[in-house]
Structure 1
């Protein structure tokens, strides 16, 4: 089964972590396949054509049910971009969870993902977490081999800073195309790191300063996981700042003729660092609530963008 030329493009990605049933090794069933079909249909209806996986999601069942959907839907594989990740080994009864980016492990996990996804090529492969024991030369050898064999078209990373990305890129003949990080109006350390330079508060921000700038200068798309802030601004609010932010989001959504979910995603997309949000809900109605972020131009002014940031921040800028 073939697919179009690889790309991590798309203003919005659908994250498939919620597909496949329970987070255990119990087999998935017909209802899980039906739920996956409904989620994929809602994403496609909303203009989303990039689907983000990881080999660990639902212990592999997320990839497997997606493979069932691909197998049942003629022509679907040719219309979409399939992205997955490897590098995390889940804990089991005998072993703790670890990170593993050894070359042999990468190759084996890719082969397993290809089988579950029922495809002959992965469009984009991300290294899920940095492995402290990993050898960049070893990783590069594995990625180069996968690329030459036609098993993976493009590569990226996830949860890595610029200082971890640069040595790997230096060893590859193909460009790294994506870095997937947790980014949202609630998780703002990626933004705060840049404005708190030369202030006492800088020490409270753990995000590696310079990562956004490095990715932007090197054409690496920033993919934002957790982009809807786990529903904190569109469902439950736990603090006064969250409540005030939710009210502002609702007001802006009414003003723009869109949904609160879209306002949250537009806030990320408005940043010049090429941020592509990943939406992870398995509920079709919530997926469709994000469609304007894929199909409409971002409609937030400079002042509106800052108003959202400062309200969520709950404090003035330094």
Structure 2
């Protein structure tokens, strides 16, 4: 069991639910870990700063308490501090977010708080694959800035990224699945099918009008949609799911299949696997999302590193 854990708590995740649960969760953690060292996040990428500081101060377990976006920031903070895993340092996760999609892949979603804490105290460390994406973000002045970021779950673009943008601009008080479904409906009012080019391991595999592309390490995105049912977090490969152009009516007819992971046989769906992926847009701006946050836009280059992140599950 970790002797020097640190907890990064996002009080705003799940529309404030995490903060409401934190008192009870802190008591449970104190029974297993003793003193609970933690900080509340105060804004975008603050979780990354807290995680980096914790690693530099000698934490041997850094735990994200929040949603997929909080976990993503903590991951990036840990690696920013060390550039590689610190011997003995482990990443942990107490999921309490709107979507918590990575928790579904890892079997952590919906567990009682006491069981989550027990798993954290006595669980097994697994070395997970880690994705990295180089894309166009925004600098401090708002000007375009080429940047890179790590992710554990997935990164997607097109319709899914626009949906994430709409979800994050609205209230999440209805919970993950309903919040994302309402986001889908809002995005449908301005449906686009941009021209995209997808290259996997150096070979162009797709070009054409596209609803969305998901570059997946985990199985779920969008608040429980099983976009990549065959994905594995330790196989060293992305599952690249391309959904070609759809009408509004077709999206509504088939979205249930995506939730259930039954969409792979649909004629609009194409699945590829590989360790390196490049995606370009032709003639228009296309948003990119990552673990439920919307940090930038295309073009984007993806690369996966096998068995890189020590994760306590």
TM-score (norm 2): 0.29
Larger radius of gyration: 1
Please identify which structure carries the higher helix content: 1
Q: State the TM-score, normalizing by the size of structure 1.
A: 0.29
More strand by share: 2
